């Protein structure tokens, strides 16, 4: 599936080092409806692997990581509960 789901929430963590992007995601994911997508914008290379790992740990779904034109990624997470 190549269709990118429009995020219900975008968290701008550009310029922030891990674990700040994950802390921001953990604090805000419960504000979106179930099965909604949260996009975490991050440019710390650790976030590229740490956010999907956090998803596995917390039973949320890592939808995909998409390169941003200016560098970094939009890491999409679907809220499962």
Which one is catalytic: 18, 25, 41, 42?
A: 18
Residue 55 annotated as catalytic: no
Q: How far apart are CA 6 and CA 24, in angstroms?
A: 19
Six-digit token string for 65: 């990581």
**DSSP assignments along 48-75, one per residue:** HHHHHHHHHHHT-EEEEEEE-TTSSEEE
Active site residues: 18
């Amino acid at each position: 599936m190549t269709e990118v789901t429009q995020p219900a929430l975008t968290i701008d963590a550009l310029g922030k080092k891990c674990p700040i992007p994950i802390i921001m995601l953990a604090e805000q994911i419960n504000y979106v409806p179930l099965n909604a997508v949260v996009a975490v914008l991050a440019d710390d290379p650790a976030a590229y692997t740490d956010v999907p790992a956090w998803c596995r740990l917390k039973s949320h779904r890592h939808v995909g990581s998409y390169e941003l034109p200016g560098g970094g990624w939009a890491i999409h997470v679907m809220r499962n509960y």
